[in-house]
C-alpha cells in the first residue's frame, strides 16, 4: 500500500451535515393558514377556534425544538389571527341577524298600527246607547289582557322568572346597576363607561333543548331598553364582565351556560331587560330590573 492510498486527497469532502427536521414547523404553518382562511367563511369559521390554537401550540414547540423555526413562527401568527378573525366574524354575524330581525319587527308593528288606525266604529248610536255596559265589558277585557300580556314592556317578567321560546330558555337572575368597580377590576383594558352612563351587570342562565348543537350567540340576545326606548346591546361597550356569560359556548340538548353581561346603561334610568330567543323567527320578552 502506497502512501497515497493511506491518505485521502487534500480537500476531499467529508460526510454532509444532517439537515434539521422541519415537519413540526410545516404542520403548524399549514394549520395556521387553514385557520386563517376558514376564519373568513361563515359557519365553517368554527373550525378556526380549534385549528388556530393548535397551530399556535405546534409553532411554539417547533420554535423551541429547532424543528422549522420560520415555519413555526408563521404558524403562530396565522393561527392566532385566524382565531381572532373567526371570533369577530361570529360577533358581526350575530349583530347582523339581530338588526335584520329588529327591522322586520318594526315593519310589522308599523303595518299593524296603520291597520288599527283605519278601523272605525260601525254604529256610533249603538255604542252611545250601550255605553255603560260597554265600559264594564271593556274593563273586564283590559284586566284579562293585562294578566295575559306578561313579558311586555308595560308588564315585564320579574327577576328569577324564565322565558322560553323554541329551543331556548333564559332566566334573568339579577340586575346590578352601578357596577363600574366590578367591571374595572375584572380587566385592566376595560374602558370607563361613556359620560352619562354606568356599567350594569345582568346575570342570566341559558338552557338549550334542541336536537342539534348550537352556539349561545346564535340563539340568545340579551339587551337593555331604556325608559325612552333606546336599545343598549353588548356590542355597544365591549367590556369584559366578571364571571362573563360565554356567548360562544356550543351547547347540546340539555346543556346550559350561566354568567354576567356588562352593559353601559344611562345613569338613574328606569328601563327594562329584553331577551330575544331564536335566530330568524325571534321571540322576545322583557324583564324588570328590580
Mind listing the pLDDT tens digit for each residue in 8-64? 555 545 555 556 667 777 877 887 788 777 777 766 666 766 777 777 887 788 777
252's torsion region: left (phi>0), alpha (psi -120 to 50) or beta?
beta
Q: Across the chain, what does the average pLDDT equal?
A: 78
Mind listing the pLDDT tens digit for each residue in 88-104? 876 777 777 777 777 78
- State the Cα torsion 87-88-89-93 to the nearest 10°: 110
> For the residues 225-233, what does the mean pLDDT come to?
89
Give 194's pLDDT tier (boundaries 50, 70, 90): confident
Mind listing the pLDDT tens digit for each residue in 138-172? 554 555 444 447 888 889 999 999 999 888 999 99
With pLDDT > 90 as the criterion, what percentage of the chain qualifies? Answer: 18
Lowest pLDDT segment from 26-35, 68-77, 130-139: 130-139
Predicted confidence (pLDDT) at residue 125 exceeds the cutoff of 50: no
> For the residues 253-280, what does the mean pLDDT come to?
89
pTM of the predicted structure, to 2 decimals: 0.51
Best CA proximity match to 23, nearest among 93, 71, 87, 86:
71
Residue 50: per-residue pLDDT: 72
Contacts of 260 (CB under 8 A, 6+ apart): 201, 202, 203, 204, 241, 242, 243, 244, 245
Residue 131: per-residue pLDDT: 63
Best CA proximity match to 87, nearest among 247, 264, 252, 256:
247
**More confidently predicted of 253 and 238:** 253
Taking a C-beta distance cutoff of 8 angstroms, is the pair 165, 155 a contact? no
Q: Give 204's strand partners.
A: 172, 259
Q: Residue length, the chain?
A: 290
> What's the CA angle centered on 157, arms 155 and 159, to 5 degrees?
140
Residue 255: per-residue pLDDT: 92
Neighbours of 57 (CB within 10 A): 15
The 8-class DSSP code of residue 166 comes to: T
Query: What is the full DSSP assignment across 173-216?
Result: EEEE-S-HHHHHHH-TTPPPPPTTEEEEEEEEEEEE--SS-EEG
Taking a C-beta distance cutoff of 8 angstroms, is the pair 193, 266 a contact? no
**More confidently predicted of 21 and 184:** 184
Neighbours of 24 (CB within 10 A): 20
Amino acid at each position: 500500500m502506497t502512501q497515497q492510498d493511506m491518505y485521502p486527497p487534500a480537500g476531499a469532502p467529508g460526510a454532509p451535515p444532517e439537515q434539521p427536521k422541519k415537519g413540526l414547523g410545516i404542520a403548524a404553518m399549514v394549520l395556521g393558514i387553514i385557520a386563517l382562511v376558514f376564519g373568513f367563511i361563515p359557519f365553517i369559521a368554527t373550525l378556526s377556534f380549534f385549528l388556530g390554537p393548535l397551530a399556535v401550540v405546534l409553532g411554539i414547540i417547533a420554535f423551541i425544538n429547532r424543528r422549522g423555526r420560520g415555519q413555526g413562527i408563521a404558524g403562530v401568527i396565522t393561527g392566532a389571527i385566524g382565531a381572532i378573525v373567526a371570533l369577530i366574524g361570529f360577533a358581526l354575524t350575530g349583530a347582523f341577524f339581530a338588526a335584520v330581525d329588529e327591522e322586520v319587527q318594526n315593519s310589522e308593528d308599523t303595518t299593524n298600527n296603520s291597520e288599527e288606525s283605519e278601523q272605525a266604529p260601525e254604529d256610533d248610536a249603538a255604542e252611545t246607547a250601550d255605553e255603560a255596559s260597554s265600559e264594564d265589558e271593556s274593563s273586564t277585557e283590559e284586566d284579562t289582557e293585562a294578566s295575559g300580556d306578561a313579558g311586555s314592556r308595560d308588564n315585564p317578567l320579574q327577576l328569577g322568572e324564565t322565558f322560553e321560546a323554541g329551543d331556548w330558555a333564559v332566566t334573568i337572575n339579577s340586575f346590578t346597576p352601578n357596577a363600574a368597580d366590578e367591571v374595572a377590576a375584572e380587566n385592566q383594558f376595560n374602558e370607563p363607561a361613556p359620560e352619562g352612563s354606568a356599567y350594569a351587570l345582568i346575570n342570566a342562565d341559558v338552557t338549550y333543548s334542541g336536537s342539534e348543537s348550537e352556539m349561545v350567540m346564535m340563539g340568545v340576545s340579551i339587551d337593555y331598553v331604556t325608559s325612552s326606548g333606546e336599545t343598549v346591546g353588548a356590542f355597544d361597550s365591549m367590556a369584559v364582565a366578571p364571571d362573563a356569560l360565554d356567548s360562544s359556548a356550543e351547547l347540546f340538548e340539555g346543556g346550559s351556560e350561566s354568567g354576567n353581561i356588562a352593559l353601559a346603561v344611562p345613569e338613574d334610568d328606569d328601563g327594562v331587560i329584553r331577551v330575544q330567543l331564536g335566530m330568524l323567527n325571534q321571540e322576545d320578552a322583557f324583564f324588570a330590573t328590580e
